Every structure is written in C-alpha cells, then in structure tokens.
C-alpha cells in the first residue's frame, strides 16, 4: 500500500528535532477561525476534529496564478469512524457554478460570483491507505488534481451527516522549509 | 552476480524516482489547453515530467490517481476541451 504525505510528515516530526525542517507542513484547524495558507505550493496536512458535527472548517489561500494541486480527505480507520465522511469544497471565482444538487449540499451560501468543486466523500467503497512509519491507516476520499484559480480561494470542510471525529485534509506535493512550532508539544493533536 | 547487481540497481532506481504517468501527461495537456484558451499560465510544475510528483514511487502513485480524477473532472466541467497529449 501507499504511504502518503503523512509518512513524510512523520519522518520530519520524529527524526528531526529542530524547529525548521524540510517536510510537509502540518497544522491543527480551529472551526472558530479561518486557517490562512501562506504558500499554496507547499504541501499541507491539516488536522481537524468534528466535536459537534455541525462545524464548518474554513481555510483561505490566495494563489498568485492558477495552480494545479492534488487534494485528499483522510479519516483514521478505526472503530467509531466507519460512517464519518467529511466533505470538502473548493470555493472561488472561476470555478464552475454548482448544480442545484451540489448547491443544496454546501454548508453555506456561495459568495457572489464564486463557483465550486465539491467532494462529497460518499463513494460506496473507500480506499484505505497506510502510513507505514507510524503505522497509521486511513480511509481516503481519493486524491484529485484540481485547478485552483488565482485570487481569493476558500476551502470548506463539513460533516454532511453530522458525524463527529478526526480528519486530515491533505493537499500539494512540494515540501518546504517549515516552522513546526509546538507540534511535538501537541503530539496528541496529530497522532491517534 | 550480474543479475543481483541489476536487481539492486533496479531497486535503487525505484527508490530514487518515478516517471510521469499517462494520466498526468493527459492532465497537463488539458491544463495547457485551458491556458491557451484562457490566456494564462497555470502552475502545474509538480505534474510535469520533471515535477515533484516523480521524486519517488509513493508520491507518484498519489499523483497518478489525482491526475486520473482530475482529467475526469476537467472533461466534466469543460466538455468542449480538447486535450492533445504530445507523443
């Protein structure tokens, strides 16, 4: 099986104690405030937890030019999360307008002039990926390469069936010099 | 002895990198067709033949799957798009 962004992240976290390393960038999302991505070209593993199931996680980025990136929603494969299928949407001017069915699925109205890519994460069978270093197993929505327009872009993550639990939104490929801050001190936010 | 050496070299090559896949060649071709139509240049460097997607087999597999779905998405939302893959 594949290991993923998380393998690289794990290697960076465990093997390199310095605050700045070359690896994918982790962060913990807070549903009460948008998370701003400074450099969309640097890959991200964004961790979050639905506590009530009605949260909407909001991520903002502002590419200078249209950029092609892979996106993937991961859920830890463990008891109690079998029905947990967070959805995500990329929202920006320049993306296609939603169908009526897609619009009805979104957690909030689209900004004026914005279109959307929506991954409902509702395929009957979810693939399983294996993060081999820490031996974590995740269900995946399946990676998809998207063209993210230049300008103001929002990523929304929500739980369509109000299920609760952890998720990881991963996107991008390239590594960067990352300030890990207090990741090791907050290891419980990242490991399960 | 020679076969062992060849096997070791093949394994080393597998660890070091991978080649751009057909799905990503198609995704890049579709992207460039859109760029021509729209008069802009998309940063698709990671999916290009010398891009970061091909730095190893793990990320290559992820990119290949992403490109496969990406081409499906582009053909759905841009049904008139013609994606010519260079030979």
Q: Is the residue at B84 inside a domain?
A: no
- Could you tell me which of A17, A66, A67 has the C-alpha nearest to residue A174? A67
> Any CB–CB contact under 8 A between B67 and chain A?
yes
pLDDT for B83: 83
Range list of H helices, chain B: 2-16, 22-38, 57-77
Instruction: Say what the ipTM of the complex is.
Output: 0.83
End-to-end CA distance of chain B: 38
Q: How many domains does chain A have?
A: 1
Q: What is the pLDDT of residues A98-115, one digit of tens each?
A: 999 999 999 999 999 999
Q: Where in the sequence is the domain holding B23, given as residue range(s)?
A: 17-77
Q: What is the mean pLDDT of chain B?
A: 85
Q: State the CATH number of the domain containing residue A22.
A: 2.60.120.380
* Local confidence band at B64 (pLDDT 50, 70, 90 cut-offs): very high
Give the sign of the dihedral formed by CA A74, CA A77, CA A81, CA A85: positive
Distance from CA of A124 to the nearest CA of B (A): 16
Q: How many domains does chain B have?
A: 1
Closest partner residue to B31 among A5, A63, A68, by Cβ? Answer: A68
Closest partner residue to B67 among A3, A145, A175, by Cβ? Answer: A145
SS3 A149: coil
Of residues B16 and B62, the one with the higher pLDDT is B62
Q: What is the pLDDT of residues A66-125, one digit of tens each?
A: 999 999 999 999 999 999 999 999 999 999 999 999 999 999 999 999 999 999 999 999
Of residues A192 and A45, the one with the higher pLDDT is A45
Q: Is the residue at B3 inside a domain?
A: no
Q: Where in the sequence is the domain holding A87, given as residue range(s)?
A: 5-190
């Amino acid at each position: 099986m594949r290991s993923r962004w998380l393998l690289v992240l794990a290697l960076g976290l465990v093997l390199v104690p310095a605050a700045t390393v070359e690896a994918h960038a982790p962060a913990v999302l807070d549903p009460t405030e948008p998370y701003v991505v400074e450099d969309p070209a640097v890959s991200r593993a964004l961790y979050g937890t639905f506590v009530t199931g009605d949260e909407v996680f909001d991520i903002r980025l502002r590419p200078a030019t249209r950029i092609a990136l892979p996106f993937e929603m991961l859920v830890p494969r463990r008891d109690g999360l079998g029905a947990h299928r967070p959805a995500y949407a990329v929202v920006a001017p320049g993306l296609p307008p939603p169908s009526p069915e897609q619009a009805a699925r979104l957690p909030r109205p689209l900004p004026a002039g914005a279109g959307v890519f929506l991954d409902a994460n509702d395929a009957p069978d979810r693939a399983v990926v294996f993060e081999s270093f820490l031996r974590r197993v995740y269900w995946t929505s399946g990676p998809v390469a998207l063209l993210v327009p230049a300008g103001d872009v929002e990523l929304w993550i929500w739980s369509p069936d109000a299920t609760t639990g952890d998720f990881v939104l991963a996107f991008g490929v390239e590594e960067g010099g990352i300030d890990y801050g207090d990741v090791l001190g907050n290891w419980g936010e990242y490991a399960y | 002895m020679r076969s062992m050496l060849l096997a070791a070299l093949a394994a080393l090559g597998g660890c070091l990198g991978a080649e751009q896949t057909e799905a990503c060649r198609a995704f890049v071709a579709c992207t460039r067709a859109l760029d021509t139509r729209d008069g802009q240049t998309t940063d698709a460097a990671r999916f290009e033949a010398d891009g970061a997607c091909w730095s190893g087999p793990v990320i290559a597999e992820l990119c290949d799957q992403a490109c496969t779905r990406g081409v499906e998405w582009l053909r759905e939302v841009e049904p008139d798009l013609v994606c010519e893959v260079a030979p």
